[in-house]
């Protein structure tokens, strides 16, 4: 054997082909590492853009709130509230009339006869209602004043921006041609406030007249009507007491009081109003949307958790292989249905069915039935439950499946029944996996858009939890729904646009939190299995 041969045989130097200076292994590593990197970068970019678009919101919102105050709109709004409270009273007043009409109709009276009977109390009813008009007129007048000055101020601001843009581009002549009338908002505020005496006088009259009217409130034959009149008296006296509060608030109000960033933040996070495109003032409060999302999610989880976990336990522990092969793909198939189809089904079939069902005699004992709204939190919740079941089922089934077979065998070999084994061994052992399945199902439900947009009823209001069961059947709006609905129509960069980004941000943080907790639980679970 020659020396060269020998050398060849023991030549261990790398003979791997290289490409761009990488051999095959490095290239593969780069490829897969690159994929992982891309997903991290995308997540970072999403976070970054959400922040960038959203964060300007607080500044803009504060400016808007400042203008709301300095233009006197806030002052007008206090008076408006009082006027609205009075309107509430008149609505109750009118409901008494309506009830009476109904009763008389049932007694077989004709329309004209009813009118005749009611004519007796016209002084009371019309007198009551008429009391509100001067107040409303007064408020309206002041409101128009404030709005006009606010709009003029905004116009002026816009012109200023326009001019400075021109200047920045070097078009000085054109810039000089832009005429700007400096506007002093405090003048308007003074003007609005100067009417204070008049307002107080109005209030005084209302108070006196109301008391006089109540003193000779009509009585009826029907006890139910008398009870309502009684209640009207209570409400009215409450209103009279409140009038003083409104007056005090007006007195304390100060147009120059500053508004901090914190106030804007609090008003966003805990604000109870989400009002856009309002002529008076836009409000961007997350609370009604958040509570709507939460309500729908709670309903969905209430249904999906027992169904998903129950099905997982059944399939894994009870069902034979044939049943398993049948049930598993079917449940998993649900997640393949496009959510818009589910939403469509919700509107066309399910919502209608719920409302029809609410009219059934058999369900009449439920005091929330029959339902007025076809689309409400319950409709959306049921459909979301349908979408969450596959997530919960699949993950919970995985967790249960991960319980070592040896545990099950040991338990059965001790003479435990199948059920005992499931309850005492299988479920506790896979509990953390099941909990994280539930959390991820919750994340799915909170983040779902199409179904809630189509089926939740889209009324922006905090669900009234004092309603008892009825709260589940109120139409609500959701965080996801509002973004999908409004983002297409808003002006890029406007405060509304940024507000929607902030809602997205909140959603994103909630989802991250849920996922984080779920992962923490899973990790703990793996350790405990050792």
Partner 1 sequence: MSLVADKITLNRPKQSTDSMDSDSSEQARPLIRVSDFDFFYGDKQALFDVNMEMMENEVTAFIGPSGCGKSTLLRCINRMNDLVDVARIGRGTIEVSGANIYDPQVDTIELRKRVGMVFQKSNPFPKSIYENVVYGLRIQGINRKSTLDEAVERCLKGAALWEEVRDRLDTSGLSLSGGQQQRLCIARALAVEPDILLMDEPCSALDPVATAKVEELIHSLKDNYTIVIVTHNMQQAARVSDRTAFFYLGKLIEMGQTEQIFMSPNNEQTEAYISGRFG
Q: What is the CA radius of gyration of the chain?
A: 33
Residue closer to partner 1, measured from CB, 403 or 500: 403
> Quick check: helix, strand or coil at residue 462?
coil
Residue closer to partner 1, measured from CB, 292 or 433: 433
Residue closer to partner 1, measured from CB, 178 or 523: 523
* Closest distance to partner 1 from the beta carbon of 451 (Å): 39
The sign one gets for the Cα dihedral 37, 41, 47, 48 is: positive
> Quick check: helix, strand or coil at residue 451?
helix
Residue closer to partner 1, measured from CB, 33 or 428: 428
Residue closer to partner 1, measured from CB, 168 or 406: 406
* Closest distance to partner 1 from the beta carbon of 63 (Å): 58
Residue closer to partner 1, measured from CB, 204 or 409: 409
* Closest distance to partner 1 from the beta carbon of 475 (Å): 47
CB atoms within 10 A of CB 293: 29
Residue closer to partner 1, measured from CB, 237 or 524: 524
* Closest distance to partner 1 from the beta carbon of 415 (Å): 4
Distance CA 376, CA 464 (A): 13
* Closest distance to partner 1 from the beta carbon of 331 (Å): 22
Residue 519 is given by DSSP the state H
* Closest distance to partner 1 from the beta carbon of 353 (Å): 40
By the 10 Å C-beta count (0-12 exposed, 13-18 middle, 19+ buried), 130 is classed as exposed
Angle separating helix axes 73-106 and 223-252, nearest 10 degrees: 180
* Closest distance to partner 1 from the beta carbon of 19 (Å): 48
* Closest distance to partner 1 from the beta carbon of 309 (Å): 19
Residue numbers at the binding site for partner 1 (CB under 8 A): 320-321, 404, 406-407, 409-417, 420, 424-425, 428-429, 528-530
Distance CA 297, CA 308 (A): 15
End-to-end CA distance of the chain: 57
Residue closer to partner 1, measured from CB, 97 or 424: 424
Q: Residue 239 in contact with residue 85, Cβ under 8 Å?
A: yes
Residue closer to partner 1, measured from CB, 403 or 453: 403
* Closest distance to partner 1 from the beta carbon of 9 (Å): 40
Q: Residue 382 in contact with residue 298, Cβ under 8 Å?
A: no
Residue closer to partner 1, measured from CB, 421 or 458: 421
DSSP secondary structure of 139-187: HHHHHHHHHHHHHHHHHHHHHHHHHHHHHHTT-HHHHHH-------HHH
CB atoms within 10 A of CB 333: 10
Neighbouring-strand partners of residue 283: 275
Residue 23 is given by DSSP the state E
Residue closer to partner 1, measured from CB, 170 or 415: 415
* Closest distance to partner 1 from the beta carbon of 460 (Å): 48
Distance CA 381, CA 217 (A): 47
Phi and psi torsions of 274, nearest 5°: -120, 100
Distance CA 417, CA 412 (A): 6
Closest by alpha carbon to 511, among 444, 452, 433? 444
Token pair of 195, please? 């009417």
Distance CA 344, CA 308 (A): 23
Please name the residues in contact with 295: beta carbons below 8 A apart, sequence gap of 6 or more.
377, 381, 463, 471, 472, 476
The length of the chain is 530
* Closest distance to partner 1 from the beta carbon of 274 (Å): 48
* Closest distance to partner 1 from the beta carbon of 317 (Å): 11
How far, rounded to the nearest angstrom, does the alpha carbon of residue 177 sit from its chain's CA centroid?
47
> Quick check: helix, strand or coil at residue 284?
strand
* Closest distance to partner 1 from the beta carbon of 323 (Å): 12
Token pair of 207, please? 């108070």
Token pair of 132, please? 């509100």
* Closest distance to partner 1 from the beta carbon of 429 (Å): 6
Q: Residue 274 in contact with residue 460, Cβ under 8 Å?
A: yes
Residue closer to partner 1, measured from CB, 146 or 426: 426
């Amino acid at each position: 054997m020659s020396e060269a041969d020998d050398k060849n045989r023991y030549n261990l130097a790398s003979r791997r082909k290289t490409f761009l200076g990488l051999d095959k292994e490095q290239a593969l590593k780069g490829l897969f590492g690159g994929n992982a990197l891309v997903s991290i970068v995308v997540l970072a970019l999403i976070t970054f853009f959400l922040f960038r678009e959203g964060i300007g919101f607080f500044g803009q919102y504060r400016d808007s709130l400042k203008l709301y105050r300095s233009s006197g709109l806030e002052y007008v709004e206090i008076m408006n509230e009082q006027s609205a409270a009075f309107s509430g009273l008149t609505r109750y007043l009118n409901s008494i009339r309506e009830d009476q009409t109904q009763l008389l109709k049932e007694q077989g009276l004709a329309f004209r006869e009813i009118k005749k009977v009611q004519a007796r109390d016209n002084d009371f009813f019309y007198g009551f209602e008429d009391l509100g008009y001067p107040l409303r007129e007064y408020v309206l007048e002041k409101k128009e004043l404030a709005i006009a000055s606010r709009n003029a101020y905004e116009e002026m601001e816009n012109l200023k921006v326009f001019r400075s843009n021109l200047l920045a581009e070097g078009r000085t002549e054109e810039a000089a041609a832009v005429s700007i009338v400096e506007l002093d908002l405090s003048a308007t505020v003074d003007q609005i406030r100067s009417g204070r005496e008049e307002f107080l006088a109005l209030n005084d009259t209302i108070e006196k007249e109301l008391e006089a009217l109540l003193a000779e409130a009509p009585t009826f034959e029907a006890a139910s009507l008398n009870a309502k009149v009684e209640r009207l008296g209570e409400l009215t006296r409450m209103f009279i007491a409140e009038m003083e509060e409104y007056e005090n608030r007006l007195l304390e109000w100060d147009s120059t009081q500053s508004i901090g960033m914190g106030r804007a933040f609090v008003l966003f996070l805990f604000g109870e109003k989400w009002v856009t495109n309002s002529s008076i003032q836009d409000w961007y409060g997350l609370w009604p949307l958040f509570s709507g999302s939460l309500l729908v999610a709670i309903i969905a989880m209430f249904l999906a958790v027992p169904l998903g976990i129950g099905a997982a336990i059944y399939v894994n522990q009870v069902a034979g292989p044939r049943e398993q092969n049948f049930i598993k793909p079917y449940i998993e198939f649900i997640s393949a249905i496009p959510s818009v189809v589910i939403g469509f089904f919700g509107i066309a079939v399910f919502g209608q069915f719920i409302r029809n069902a609410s009219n059934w005699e058999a369900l009449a004992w439920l005091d929330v039935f029959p339902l007025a709204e076809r689309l409400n939190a319950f409709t959306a919740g049921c459909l979301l439950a349908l979408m969450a079941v596959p997530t919960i089922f699949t993950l919970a089934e995985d967790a249960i499946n991960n319980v070592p077979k040896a545990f099950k065998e040991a338990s059965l070999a001790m003479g435990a029944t199948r059920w005992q084994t499931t309850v005492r061994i299988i479920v506790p052992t896979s509990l953390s996996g099941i909990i994280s399945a539930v959390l991820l199902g919750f994340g799915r439900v909170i983040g779902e858009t199409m179904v809630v947009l189509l089926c939740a009823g889209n009324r922006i209001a905090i669900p009234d939890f004092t309603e008892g069961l009825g709260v589940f059947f109120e139409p609500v709006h959701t965080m996801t729904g509002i973004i999908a609905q409004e983002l297409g129509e808003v002006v890029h960069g406007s405060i509304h646009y940024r507000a929607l980004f902030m809602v997205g941000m909140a959603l994103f943080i909630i989802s991250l939190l849920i996922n984080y907790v779920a992962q923490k639980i899973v990790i703990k679970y793996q350790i405990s299995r050792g």
